[in-house]
Amino acid sequence: MEAVPREITTPFRPIPLEIPEGMKPNEFFNSTENLADLLHNNGLLVNPENLLLYRKALGHSNEFDASIIYNTSKVILDPLGRPVRRTQVPAPVRHVWNRMNGIIIEYMLETYPDPADALVLAGEASLDATWPLTAPGVPSIRMLHNHFMVFPMQNLRTAAPADPGNPNLTDGGQHSLFQAYMRDVYREFFTRALELRILRPVADDAARLNLTGYPQGLPSWEIQGGVDALKDARFWREYDAILKGFLDFYRTFFSQVSTRNAPLPEGVYFPQHVEEVLLFNNDFLKTAKKVRGRCMTDAKYANAIRWQPAFKQLIYRNDDGRLIVTISQNSIGNAITELLGVVVNRRPDAEAYAATEPALIEKLMEVRRRLIEADLGDGIATEYWPAE
């Protein structure tokens, strides 16, 4: 079977909320009213750390689909002032969040043990707080949240090929700015800056899914020890270290695009390696010059740049059953599924969604039970399920 990205259609129940006249959808979805709907109609579990587990009302997959959101809507009213990446989350909250992540991923792998039957993934994309709320690609909920999804492989095998020119599929491989011009220095920086023991770099072929041919050309690491490693606090420190390395690379590059011979950005995590690996690399600086020159003459191109770091970081199971971590810069409007070559079209169809809902909720209830048992929160009652 030819390796091509796949496009699937996922039905959902239309959300019974009316957007007030004069508001953009992005603006309304960040309102207290919408967040209340998220809690009361789709909430599964909440804890004192303000982490909310919920069913995705506009889901990617009706096989298994849930999210955890760091619900700061009642403590930070300014949507642009909310945390947009893991590194901005207080350490006690991140500790609880990591434990929740580990339990949910373990459940997915236990429930779907065969990689030939199910694509299992979990991860998050940054919410770029430097963009206006109404700009293309700004997420609909302006708070840091991650995703847990399972796609039946048979559905992907029979899905239609996606358009390879879809802009949401072009942030890896030959389409990526980092990969096209700075691949060697990008990987060298990760290798020299990060001290990893649990995460081991893997070649592109080991990371790539045979069905879709994705991810394309991204730095990837195997989680040595598999799912058991997710119970080790060191794994999550290394997972964060990869994000910190990415942030340093991104910020340093675009500071050079913005200002020729700019000094090190404030607050970089690996200043010695930024200076020694990046700022003395000719490919790195030549590429910055090329992008800077285009920004001078192409207003649309300059406006499309995310000057502050925008990323997708992902844990997924490869064809051999190994758990892989990868990270990519985030292009306009794409989802973490597209990092793996899966394009999801959501279609309003209450009847089709209802046919899949009982099995989905049964799985979500079991995940919730395990989290409650581990003292990671209390159940939420909705019209669809009780609190316990």
The C-alpha atoms of residue 184 and residue 249 are separated, in whole angstroms, by 13
Check residue 173 and give its pLDDT: 45
Whether 14 and 30 have beta carbons less than 8 Å apart is answered as no
Burial of 28-60, coded b for 16+ CB within 10 Å and e otherwise, reads bbbbeebbebbbebbbbbbbebbbbbbbbbebb
Burial of 177-211, coded b for 16+ CB within 10 Å and e otherwise, reads ebbebbbebbbebbeebbebebbeebeeeebbbeb
Check residue 171 and give its pLDDT: 55
- Cα dihedral: 283, 284, 285, 286 (round 10): 40
Check residue 133 and give its pLDDT: 54
Cis peptide before 215 (omega within 30 of 0): yes
Distances from the Cα of 352 to the Cαs of 13, 347, 369, in angstroms?
9, 10, 27
Whether 367 and 66 have beta carbons less than 8 Å apart is answered as yes
Whether 122 and 227 have beta carbons less than 8 Å apart is answered as no
Residues pairing with 161 in the sheet: 6
> Which domains does the chain carry?
1-163+335-388 (3.30.428), 171-330 (no CATH)
Check residue 40 and give its pLDDT: 84
Q: Which tokens sit at 105?
A: 């991923």
Check residue 132 and give its pLDDT: 57
Check residue 341 and give its pLDDT: 92
Q: What angle do CA 137, 324, 177 make, to 5 degrees?
A: 45
Q: β-pairing, 145-152 with 160-161?
A: unpaired
Burial of 118-131, coded b for 16+ CB within 10 Å and e otherwise, reads bbbbbbbbbbbbeb
Whether 121 and 104 have beta carbons less than 8 Å apart is answered as no
Helix (H) or strand (E) holding 258: helix 233-258
**Mean pLDDT computed over every residue of the chain:** 89
Q: Which tokens sit at 51?
A: 């982490």
The C-alpha atoms of residue 34 and residue 139 are separated, in whole angstroms, by 14
Cβ atoms within 10 Å, residue 293: 11
The C-alpha atoms of residue 12 and residue 22 are separated, in whole angstroms, by 26
Check residue 379 and give its pLDDT: 97
What single-letter amino acid sits at 15?
I
The C-alpha atoms of residue 240 and residue 187 are separated, in whole angstroms, by 17
Check residue 307 and give its pLDDT: 82
How does DSSP classify residue 45? Answer: E
Check residue 51 and give its pLDDT: 96
How does DSSP classify residue 349? Answer: -
Q: Which regions of the chain are under pLDDT 70?
A: 1, 25-27, 29-33, 127-141, 170-176, 331-334
Q: Which tokens sit at 96?
A: 């609880």
Distances from the Cα of 188 to the Cαs of 155, 185, 240, in angstroms?
38, 5, 18
